[in-house]
C-alpha cells in the first residue's frame, strides 16, 4: 500500500473517531444527540420523551412518563413524596428516609435504595435499580468525578439547585413537570401557597422599621456553619424582616458551605440565634464559652421546627413554614393575624393528606422527634 493511500485511510479513521467522540459527549451532556431539529431551528424530543430544562439550564430529553426515578438529592426526594410521586422513587439519600411524616405519606420509604455514600455515587448499585430518570444536586454535577460516572450510565439526569426562594420554586416546578400528571399539579399547588406566604411576609415586613429589625444568626448543623449572602437561608430570613448578620460578613467557603469563626460571632453578637439541630441549641445554652452572647443571655436561641422536612434548610421544601415560624416567633405583634398551627395543619391535611394531632404538632415545633437520627445523615 503506498503512502498516499495509508494517509487517506488514517485521515478517515481520525475523522470517524472525532465523530464518535463528539456524539458520545453530546449524548452525555443532556442527551442532545437524540433531539430532532425543526425547520425553525427549535428542537423536539423523540416520541415517548419530552424536553425538560433543569436548574442550570441544560435541556434534557427525559421519558414522557418516568416510572423509576433515582432522587440523589434531598430536596428532590422530599419533593417527590410530597407531590405524590413516592411510588416512582427507587433511590434517595438516607436523610430523606428518616423523616417520620414522609414515611407516613409513603409507607414503602424504607424499601427505597441508597446508591451513594455521602456525596459519592455507587454506579453499580444505582444501575442495578434500573432508573429511567435521575435527579442530582448541583454540587454533585460540579464534581468532575461524579459527573463522569453519571455521563457513562446513559440515563438522563436533571440537576437540582437553587440559591433563593424563587429558584427553589422553579426547582419544584421542574421536578413536577418532569414527572408529569398529578405530580405536576400538586407541585403547582405547593408553589402557589409558597408565593402567597412570600407576598404576605413582604407586606408584613413593611410594618417593621429598620431600627426595630432583629439581627439573626443562623447556625446550620454546627454553630460556625452559616449563611452566605447568596443563599436560600439569607433570602427567607430577610423576607421576614430580620437581618441575617452572617450574610454580610467575611466567611470561609469550604465544600459548598459557609463558615464563621467564634470571634466573628461574638463581634456580631446577634439578637437571636436559630439552629437546625436541637443538640446545637443545648451546646450554645450550656457551654460556658458561649455565655457572653446576648442571644444566649436573653434566652433567644431557637431550634428550627422539623415537619415533613427541616423548615428553611437548604434541602427543605417547607421554606414557607420557616418564614411563618420565624415571623410569629420574633415579631408576634406584626404576625398576630397568622395562625401558624392552622397553616401547618391545613397544608398537611389538604395538600399532603396527613392529619396532624396536637402531640405531633408539638414535636414538629420542637424540631426534635420527627426524624430517626440513628439511621440517617444530617441534612445541611
Flag whether 21 is in a domain.
Answer: no
pLDDT at 255: 83
User: Which domain covers residue 112, as residue numbers?
Assistant: 49-189
Flag whether 272 is in a domain.
Answer: yes
pLDDT at 39: 42
Flag whether 123 is in a domain.
Answer: yes
pLDDT at 32: 40
pLDDT at 288: 95
Flag whether 198 is in a domain.
Answer: no
Low pLDDT (below 50) residues in the chain: 2-10, 12-34, 36-41, 374-380
pLDDT at 16: 44
pLDDT at 256: 84
pLDDT at 253: 93
Flag whether 79 is in a domain.
Answer: yes
Specify the pTM: 0.86
Secondary structure of the chain as H, E, C letters: CCHHHHHHHHHHHHHHHHHHHHHHHHHHCCCHHHCEECCCCCEECCCCEEEEECCCCCEEEEECCCCCEEEECHHHHHHHHHCCCHHHEEECCHHHHCEHHHHHHCHHHHHCECCEECCEECHHHHHHCCCCEEEEEHHHHCCHHHHHHHHHHCCCEEEECCCCHHHHHHHHHHHHHHHCHHHHHHHHHHHHHHHHHHHHHHHHHCCCCHHHCCEEEEEECECCEECCCCCHHHHHHHHHCCEEHHHHCCCEEECCEEECCHHHHHHHCCCEEEECCHHHHHHHHHCHHHCCCHHHHCCCEEECCECCCECCCCCCCCHHHHHHHHHHHHCCCCCCCCCHHHHHHHHHHHCCCCCCCHHHHHHHHHCCCCECHHHCCCCC
Q: How many domains does the chain have?
A: 2
On whether both 183 and 114 belong to a single domain, the answer is yes
pLDDT at 377: 45
Amino acid at each position: 500500500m503506498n503512502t498516499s493511500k495509508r494517509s487517506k485511510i488514517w485521515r478517515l479513521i481520525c475523522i470517524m473517531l472525532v465523530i464518535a467522540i463528539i456524539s458520545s459527549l453530546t449524548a452525555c451532556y443532556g442527551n442532545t444527540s437524540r433531539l430532532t431539529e425543526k425547520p425553525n431551528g427549535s428542537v423536539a424530543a423523540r416520541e415517548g420523551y419530552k424536553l425538560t430544562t433543569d436548574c442550570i439550564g441544560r435541556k434534557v430529553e427525559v421519558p414522557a412518563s418516568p416510572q423509576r426515578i433515582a432522587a440523589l438529592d434531598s430536596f428532590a426526594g422530599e419533593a417527590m413524596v410530597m407531590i405524590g410521586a413516592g411510588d416512582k422513587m427507587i433511590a434517595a439519600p438516607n436523610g430523606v428516609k428518616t423523616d417520620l411524616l414522609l414515611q407516613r405519606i409513603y409507607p414503602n420509604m424504607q424499601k427505597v435504595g441508597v446508591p451513594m455514600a455521602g456525596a459519592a455515587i455507587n454506579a453499580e448499585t444505582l444501575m442495578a435499580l434500573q432508573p429511567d430518570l435521575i435527579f442530582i444536586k448541583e454540587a454533585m454535577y460540579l464534581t468532575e468525578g461524579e459527573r463522569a460516572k453519571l455521563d457513562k450510565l446513559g440515563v438522563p439526569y436533571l440537576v437540582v439547585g437553587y440559591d433563593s426562594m424563587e429558584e427553589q420554586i422553579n426547582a419544584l416546578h421542574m421536578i413536577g413537570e418532569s414527572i408529569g400528571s398529578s405530580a405536576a399539579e400538586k407541585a403547582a399547588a405547593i408553589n402557589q401557597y409558597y408565593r402567597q406566604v412570600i407576598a404576605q411576609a413582604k407586606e408584613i415586613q413593611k410594618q417593621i422599621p429598620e431600627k426595630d429589625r432583629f439581627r439573626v444568626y443562623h447556625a446550620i448543623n454546627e454553630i460556625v456553619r452559616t449563611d452566605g449572602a447568596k443563599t436560600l437561608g439569607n433570602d427567607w430570613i430577610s423576607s421576614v424582616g430580620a437581618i441575617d448578620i452572617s450574610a454580610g460578613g467575611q466567611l470561609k467557603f469550604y465544600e459548598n458551605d459557609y463558615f464563621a469563626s467564634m470571634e466573628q460571632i461574638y463581634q456580631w453578637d446577634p439578637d437571636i440565634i436559630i439552629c437546625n439541630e436541637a443538640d446545637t441549641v443545648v451546646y450554645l445554652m450550656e457551654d460556658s464559652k458561649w455565655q457572653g452572647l446576648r442571644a444566649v443571655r436573653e434566652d433567644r436561641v431557637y431550634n428550627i421546627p422539623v415537619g415533613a422536612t427541616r423548615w428553611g434548610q437548604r434541602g427543605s421544601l417547607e421554606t414557607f413554614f420557616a418564614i411563618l415560624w420565624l415571623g410569629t416567633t420574633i415579631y408576634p405583634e406584626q404576625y398576630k393575624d397568622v395562625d401558624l398551627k392552622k397553616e401547618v395543619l391545613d397544608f398537611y391535611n389538604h395538600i399532603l393528606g396527613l392529619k396532624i394531632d396536637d402531640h405531633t404538632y408539638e414535636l414538629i415545633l420542637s424540631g426534635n422527634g420527627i426524624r430517626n437520627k440513628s439511621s440517617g445523615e444530617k441534612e445541611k
